Structure 1
Amino acid sequence: MGFERLTSILQNKMSNYDTDVFLPIFDAIQLETGARPYSGKVGPDDTDNVDMAYRVVADHIRTLSFAIADGSRPGNDGREYVLRRILRRAVRYGREVLKAKEGFFNRLVSVVVKVMGDVFPELKQQEVHIRNVIKEEEESFGRTLIKGIEKFKNAVQHVQNGQLSGEATFVLWDTYGFPIDLTKLMAEEQGLTVDEDGYNRALEAARERSRSAQSTQAGGAIVMDADATSALHRRGIAPTDDSFKYVWFKDHESVVKAIYTGSEFVESVETDGDIGVVLESTSFYAEQGGQIFDTGSLEGPHASFKVHNVQVFGGFVLHIGSYGTGISVGDKVVCKVDYGRRSLIAPNHTCTHMLNFALREVLGDHVDQKGSIVLPEKLRFDFSHGKPVDPDNLRKIESIVNEQIRAELDVNAKEVTLAEAKRINGLRAVFGEVYPDPVRVVSVGEKVEDLLADPENKKWLSISSELCGGTHISNTREAKAFALLSEEGIAKGIRRITAVTTDRASDAMRAADEFEQLVDNAAKLEGSSLEEKVLYLKSNVETLSIPAAKKAEIKNKIVQLQDRVRKAQKQIAEENKRKAVMITAEKAELAASSGKTFCVSQVEVGLDVNAVREAVTKVMEQKGISVMVFSTDKSTNKAVVCAGVPEKGDRGKLDVTEWLTNALEPLKGRCGKGKGGLATGQGTDASHVSEAMDLAASFASMKLT
């Protein structure tokens, strides 16, 4: 009967929702929303839909809490899209029917934990995580809900024959995240129907556009569709035996069973272009489970076929390559795998497992694998986590993997039944992945036989054990080192780590140490030397391929150096202002004592425009006379000049812009239009500063006499 139905019988209630499984949640909903109390009405009796809204919100907050505690979360595909749909449905009912305020839904997690947490301890353990995930999704939907409802209202105004068009329904889903069932509910409330056939056509058209884009991106690689694999079955060809892929450094003999051009099967190869070869058995690893394919060659009696891609379709391993002229169906061939390349891939795959383990150790049990790619040059791992991983945790994650490498742990693999594997405590699998039976278990540091002998041992929680069909190293020492290069968000609630192993990891660590030494050396510099070095360090640190945690540490050091530069620049600026004002004030005193109503001064503050302007402004205010101040920079042969004419003094006789423009002619400079009695300009030939100052003095003397 299920728990809720059994409860309704024991408590003599006509509905599951009338039991104490739901009533505490209803009380919490009323407290959050201020709606009328739940009265248990259904159908036509529930005229305001309030009781329906209570049931929707309560049922959906339970579903989401349990699903997120089990490692899932709202998203765009599959089961995750189902969760997103029910969350949005609950939020809409709460906001529109119960008149709840924004953010009400995630606050209901606590009552679910209170009601169910004793029986399901994972709810208590994950309470903060559950609430954060729901809060993030609720806020996101809140931003689109208002726009979507407005769009829906606009679409309703253009309805003909009482039916909302399929195109409008698709736009509501594609742009505003309204699933069709939500739109149908909104339409029903308006007495309308939805053109579901039109919606499906628009949806299929969008999918076709997506498929076409993917096909173009794939570059036309050979693919065997269902018709092709069915043709192989009809010809009595058995799926490829690829168990030999786990054997290293050994050539494997096999027989050509089929040759595929991408459109048809042929008996022999008559072109140097790409074709696909199906063998009876193979030692090549076909791309799957995130691991890249093997490359190499097939050596036949009359030809050598270069294999540059290996894919599997319906159990048939397709060796895709070129220069196969002379290979025919029935030929005996030797599989020659490029084991040097595979030796670069295997450490990355084993370290992906150790990374998966380290992420759960550091971040928590909510971390779930969302995808991975294992290449010769790097590994990439996608996982569920709601926020960026801080540098301290990145350092811990990287350290755990390196500790396992230094511990020189044996990597063990064994094929077992799926039922046996699932009993192993702490065994990792990709949630939602369909695994064959039997499956292959890969464990780091413990024999698979020991795991199977005592599957519930809590000791297994402290090791990496996963279901995996990939190729691995035999001991962690072969990975040499692990460097976590980057951590970033790629989708809502999904983070991505990129890392390297072996010599690439050692190179990354060495590059980090060398660059950090440059930063530490820069700390010993002063003045312009420090300023130049900091600019170089800041512009280059982002391009470095070094461990992310170390990069964050180095960037912090650079920030501290930037602070030093800013403080030094501020001190220099203050000193320049003080010096410029003092020298110009002295010049103004001399000018005033000789009966002049203007002052032309030169100060040594380089191209510090602020200091020059400060000198002009202060002295003009203090002395009430017209002032022009020059300053030059020998290294660039440039000059800055500022002029000021007081409002109550000479402004009617001496125009500040005209005065400065004349003075700048020998300096090959120009100025903007003066404002408020002040004008500033620059010259590109400071060697004529004396001539410019004489010209400024004679021009002012002429105008003011």
Structure 2
Amino acid sequence: MKTPTAAEIRELFVRFFEERGHRRVPSSSLVPQNDPTLLFTNAGMVQFKDVFTGREKRDYSRATTAQKCVRAGGKHNDLENVGFTARHHTFFEMLGNFSFGDYFKKDAIAWGWEFVTSPKWLGLPKDRLAATVFAGEGTLPWDEEAYGLWKAQGVPEERIHKLGAKDNFWAMGDTGPCGPCSEIHFFQGNDIPCAEEKAGRKCEGVACDCDRWLEIWNLVFMQFERSQDGGLTPLPKPSIDTGAGLERMASVAQGKRSNYDTDLFQTIIGAIAKLAGKRYGEKDDDDSVSMRVIADHARATTFLVGDGVLPSNEGRGYVLRRIMRRAIRHGKRLGLEKPFLADVCRVVIAEMGQAYPEIRENEAFITKVAQQEEESFRRTLDKGLAILEAEMRKVGIPDAVAMGKPATPPPAKAARPVIDGKVAFQLYDTFGFPLDLTRVIAAERGFDVDEQGFDRHMAEQRARSEWKGSGEQAVGDLQKAIAGDIGEVKFLGYEVTKATAEVKALLANGARVAKARKGDAVEVVTAATPFYGESGGQVGDVGTITGLGGLRIRVDDAQRPVPGLITHVGEVLEGELAVGDRVELAVDEARRDLIRANHSATHLLQFALRETLGEHVKQAGSVVAPDYLRFDFSHFQPLATEELKKIERRVNELVRENAETETAVLELEKARQAGAMMIFGEKYGDVVRVVRIGPSKELCGGTHVRRTGDIAYFKIDSEESIAAGVRRIVALTGPKAVEASQREADELRQAAQLLKAGALEVAQKIEQAQRRMKDLERALEEAKSKVATAQSGDLAAQAKDVGGGAKVLAAKVQGDGKSLRELADKLRDKLGRGVVALGAEQDGKAILLVAVTKDLTSKVKAGDLVKEAAKLVGGSGGGKPDMAQAGGSDPAGLEKALAKVTELAASALG
């Protein structure tokens, strides 16, 4: 059998299980849906979590996937090890086969063994394989069944190993589904170093952390339900969740000791080596480590940005930024002084775009984000490194090696000097250095970092690297249970806004009930509905539900808490409602029409943005409401006035074309091939709805106008930045756009009347008035200066001689802080040697200013004088030795304050 490529292994795996009745399910987004507690999708089962618990039902009971995963933050964080080991990655692919209450251990074990060993499939030698089973622990029984099933496959007893709960028992949480695991391990060879043997102990074989026996497949048998007291109850429908890392599969199938030496990485690493003019070696030299880091991080960057994650200073974006900046720094260590990350991302896309077409479709955006982030970080990197270098020289070893190269040998742990936490925080806050980057650079030089000090300085800011939830609303268990009980609610709203349907479920005041009465806050679920449940940025419909016996419910919102479920949220105003009743549902049609216009306008706006600004523009969020639309999109600089005008004109051109809206229901892949736009991170089913509005073609489940002319008029209200690389346009359509235009016209007419000008002359008149104002301000300053000069001559004559050729002048004058400073300068020049103290009252406050000629500042300081004088006007102040200023709340004390300055200055100088 020829050596398979990773792409061939991926396809072989999925096809193997397809032939055994499994549904091929596309990889879900790296941003988990309906799970705000999870940072990234980190396992194949994430998208099926609710299916396993019974909260969600699908039309298949077997599935197989190649799932993209990231582990780089929170609990699952492999970032520090990436590049230094053979197996750690931030981004990886997990091959999986799943049974939702269908087959169980017998088939899962037989199929796993067949795929791994059969010459038709992976064809690994059986004599290099071993299996593990759960050995039992405490009250948990050992998995005798799995042991017998492995024996039935012909695995010798001596290669079926029993492991404890740490390795071979899985649980979704402290309570809930759980069960034993069983693994397949591949023997790589005893020549691989083992830390246990180096320490004089025996290698533990499959239980050892060394890579002599490499786990390549994990089968989870969801067999029990764990209760609060720890008791285990057999599940009525036990399930299967398996995971086989593609990177590991490829390494053993291709005879490689490191994942980085497989074809998944070698093309990418080759491109990096060419850019750097370096040679990649399989050993852990600095250059090879850096190439592995960049290869891994470029894959993570490509897929995270491709799923809509953008670098930022919090949450998922912060983790992405850490990954990107770590790659950029390793590029600098390779001597790459020009931006390179976007080029490496292009290689990733070329290598993996066929398996994951979303990255190919978003190539322009992905590379733009990579370019932008690298350029931004490079501008601050050198400054940050200089600060860190200075700190190291200050506290550390004077003859340290050049920045970025490890000390040889590094100082012992106990003797390491420490980088101040305040400096680490400054590097983070000002120069964008994640703490772990500072830690890595410091460790390379033999330094530690005062992380507690760093944390103190971060106390007023949200911890960046620890995921605490996305802020999304978690879906309630009651709604999930209802969805599992009744199935999908049929949406009728594309065709009608009124319908009759049966009530299938009912929540009143937060509890599931059979009946609701007047005054109850309810969520009503019907078999079908014309109400659009909020999703895809479009707000939910409002309206009424009526029925027999005078039933009347005000519907304040329609929600879609679970895929396929639409709930009507509102209040029972009259009568009673029971499950099983037939009711009349009526949407507020006038409001729906406004929403339709705004939703269709977002499609035309996205088309105009891409046409005007470039194909890197992607939707990054939206709100479609009756009174406005909000559209967030990827772009990296403010839009010029002419660009905004061009976009607005283009949308209105498309509106006037009055093109008919066309919809089609297609298989996802056919829709993709037809060029339909897809939204970042959106989870699509196998069959999708394609909406064509003029030249725009998008996947969309929302409601739309029948013809573009129904939008009537489109007007951009505002454009602003909301995050790095993301901008927001708020726009209006139809009557709201007309109202806004009329308000602006009214304001313009009023301004014209005040300026005594025509409406089209307002800007010209304002410009003339501004020029006139500047001329007047300049003339006023000149007049003040002349007055100050004249005043200085009169005041200088009032100076008192205090001996030694020095004089003191204290006087109350008129003016503000600026004019007092100018006057004090002139008086100081006229005195030649002495002290000037001026006081003034402005807006009910006292101002004090003291100036000292430079030759006297060793004897008397302006700051000391003004500080004492300020106490007499109820204030405080300070400044330089030759000039200082103070303010106070009591101008009545100015005479005493000036006298105090004279007294103190005379005493000091006399």
1:443-454 paired onto structure 2 within 5 Å: 443-445=692-694
Secondary structure of 1:351's partner? helix
* In the alignment, structure 1 residue 284 sits paired with structure 2 residue 284: no
- The 3 A distance-change label for structure 1 pair 279 and 648 is closer
Letter in 1 for 2:782: E
* In the alignment, structure 1 residue 466 sits paired with structure 2 residue 466: no
Letter in 1 for 2:553: F
For residue 88 of structure 1, report the CA deviation from its aligned partner. 6.2
Q: 1:346 aligns with which of 596, 615, 619?
A: 596
- The 3 A distance-change label for structure 1 pair 110 and 588 is same
Deviations 1:639-678 (A, max 9, x none): 98989999999xx9xx9x99xx99xx9xx99998999999
For residue 301 of structure 1, report the CA deviation from its aligned partner. 0.5
* In the alignment, structure 1 residue 106 sits paired with structure 2 residue 341: yes
For residue 360 of structure 1, report the CA deviation from its aligned partner. 0.7
Deviations 1:443-499 (A, max 9, x none): 223xxxxxxxxxxxxxxxxx2222222122233344343333333444443333322
Letter in 1 for 2:652: N
2:485 aligned residue: 231
* In structure 2, C-alpha distance between the alignment counterparts of 1:513 and 1:79, rounded to whole Å: 44
2:707 aligned residue: 475
1:375-454 paired onto structure 2 within 5 Å: 375-405=625-655, 407=656, 409-418=658-667, 422=671, 426-436=675-685, 438-445=687-694
Kept in 1, the 8 Å contact 2:721–2:728? The answer is yes
Letter in 2 for 1:503: P
Q: 1:502 aligns with which of 734, 746, 755?
A: 734
- The 3 A distance-change label for structure 1 pair 578 and 301 is same
Kept in 2, the 8 Å contact 1:256–1:330? The answer is yes
Kept in 1, the 8 Å contact 2:503–2:581? The answer is yes
Letter in 1 for 2:692: S
For residue 579 of structure 1, report the CA deviation from its aligned partner. 3.0
Kept in 1, the 8 Å contact 2:536–2:702? The answer is yes
1:479-494 paired onto structure 2 within 5 Å: 479-494=711-726
Kept in 2, the 8 Å contact 1:245–1:282? The answer is no
Deviations 1:553-605 (A, max 9, x none): 99x9999977875664344223211233136537879999xxxx9999999xx
- The 3 A distance-change label for structure 1 pair 441 and 347 is same
* In structure 2, C-alpha distance between the alignment counterparts of 1:92 and 1:590, rounded to whole Å: 67
2:908 aligned residue: none
2:70 aligned residue: none
For residue 309 of structure 1, report the CA deviation from its aligned partner. 2.2
Kept in 1, the 8 Å contact 2:311–2:373? The answer is no
1:22-37 paired onto structure 2 within 5 Å: 29=272, 33=276, 35=278, 37=279
Secondary structure of 1:340's partner? helix
For residue 367 of structure 1, report the CA deviation from its aligned partner. 1.5
Deviations 1:368-390 (A, max 9, x none): 22222212222222222334434
- The 3 A distance-change label for structure 1 pair 348 and 601 is same
- The 3 A distance-change label for structure 1 pair 625 and 511 is farther
Q: 1:136 aligns with which of 365, 373, 376?
A: 373
* In structure 1, C-alpha distance between the alignment counterparts of 2:880 and 2:305, rounded to whole Å: 66
Kept in 2, the 8 Å contact 1:291–1:375? The answer is yes
Secondary structure of 1:299's partner? strand
1:686-701 paired onto structure 2 within 5 Å: none
* In structure 1, C-alpha distance between the alignment counterparts of 2:508 and 2:876, rounded to whole Å: 73
Which consecutive unaligned segments of at least 5 residues does structure 2 have?
Answer: 9-253, 389-403, 405-409, 415-427, 445-462, 801-806, 904-910
TM-score of the two chains, using structure 1 as the length reference: 0.59
Which consecutive unaligned segments of at least 5 residues does structure 1 have?
Answer: 6-12, 159-171, 188-202, 234-238, 446-462, 526-552, 700-705
* In structure 2, C-alpha distance between the alignment counterparts of 1:677 and 1:94, rounded to whole Å: 51
* In structure 2, C-alpha distance between the alignment counterparts of 1:86 and 1:638, rounded to whole Å: 55
Deviations 1:594-622 (A, max 9, x none): xxx9999999xx63454455456536644
TM-score of the two chains, using structure 2 as the length reference: 0.47
* In structure 1, C-alpha distance between the alignment counterparts of 2:768 and 2:565, rounded to whole Å: 59
* In structure 1, C-alpha distance between the alignment counterparts of 2:855 and 2:370, rounded to whole Å: 67
2:507 aligned residue: 260
User: Is the deviation greater in 609-618 or in 21-30?
Assistant: 21-30
* In structure 2, C-alpha distance between the alignment counterparts of 1:73 and 1:111, rounded to whole Å: 17
1:330 aligned residue: 580
- The 3 A distance-change label for structure 1 pair 106 and 491 is same
For residue 412 of structure 1, report the CA deviation from its aligned partner. 1.2
For residue 520 of structure 1, report the CA deviation from its aligned partner. 7.3
For residue 419 of structure 1, report the CA deviation from its aligned partner. 6.2
* In structure 2, C-alpha distance between the alignment counterparts of 1:591 and 1:424, rounded to whole Å: 90
* In structure 2, C-alpha distance between the alignment counterparts of 1:513 and 1:379, rounded to whole Å: 22
* In structure 2, C-alpha distance between the alignment counterparts of 1:242 and 1:52, rounded to whole Å: 54
Q: Which has the higher strand share?
A: 2
1:372 aligned residue: 622
- The 3 A distance-change label for structure 1 pair 577 and 643 is farther
Secondary structure of 2:515's partner? coil
* In structure 1, C-alpha distance between the alignment counterparts of 2:882 and 2:822, rounded to whole Å: 14
* In structure 1, C-alpha distance between the alignment counterparts of 2:506 and 2:828, rounded to whole Å: 92
- The 3 A distance-change label for structure 1 pair 86 and 645 is closer
2:175 aligned residue: none
- The 3 A distance-change label for structure 1 pair 614 and 266 is closer
Kept in 1, the 8 Å contact 2:676–2:697? The answer is yes
- The 3 A distance-change label for structure 1 pair 56 and 267 is closer
Secondary structure of 2:490's partner? coil
* In structure 2, C-alpha distance between the alignment counterparts of 1:672 and 1:419, rounded to whole Å: 71
1:200 aligned residue: none
For residue 365 of structure 1, report the CA deviation from its aligned partner. 0.8
Letter in 2 for 1:273: D
1:308 aligned residue: 556
For residue 228 of structure 1, report the CA deviation from its aligned partner. 2.6
1:195 aligned residue: none
Instruction: Figure out how many residues of one structure are paired with residues of the other and give that number.
Output: 565
* In structure 1, C-alpha distance between the alignment counterparts of 2:581 and 2:264, rounded to whole Å: 69
Secondary structure of 1:315's partner? coil
Kept in 2, the 8 Å contact 1:110–1:127? The answer is no
Secondary structure of 2:469's partner? helix
For residue 273 of structure 1, report the CA deviation from its aligned partner. 1.8
- The 3 A distance-change label for structure 1 pair 504 and 585 is same
Q: 1:618 aligns with which of 817, 826, 832?
A: 826
Letter in 1 for 2:541: D
For residue 393 of structure 1, report the CA deviation from its aligned partner. 2.5
Letter in 1 for 2:557: N
Deviations 1:209-264 (A, max 9, x none): 638x655xx8xx9764433322335xxxxx3322244324xx32222233234776
Q: Which has the higher helix share?
A: 1
Deviations 1:523-581 (A, max 9, x none): 899xxxxxxxxxxxxxxxxxxxxxxxxxxx99x99999778756643442232112331
* In structure 2, C-alpha distance between the alignment counterparts of 1:278 and 1:294, rounded to whole Å: 14
* In structure 2, C-alpha distance between the alignment counterparts of 1:124 and 1:226, rounded to whole Å: 34
* In structure 1, C-alpha distance between the alignment counterparts of 2:295 and 2:879, rounded to whole Å: 70
* In structure 2, C-alpha distance between the alignment counterparts of 1:125 and 1:328, rounded to whole Å: 49
* In structure 2, C-alpha distance between the alignment counterparts of 1:412 and 1:90, rounded to whole Å: 46
Kept in 1, the 8 Å contact 2:478–2:512? The answer is no
* In structure 2, C-alpha distance between the alignment counterparts of 1:232 and 1:355, rounded to whole Å: 38
- The 3 A distance-change label for structure 1 pair 440 and 107 is closer
* In structure 1, C-alpha distance between the alignment counterparts of 2:593 and 2:371, rounded to whole Å: 43
- The 3 A distance-change label for structure 1 pair 618 and 107 is same
- The 3 A distance-change label for structure 1 pair 53 and 609 is closer
2:469 aligned residue: 210
Kept in 2, the 8 Å contact 1:254–1:332? The answer is yes
* In structure 2, C-alpha distance between the alignment counterparts of 1:678 and 1:78, rounded to whole Å: 49
- The 3 A distance-change label for structure 1 pair 673 and 467 is closer
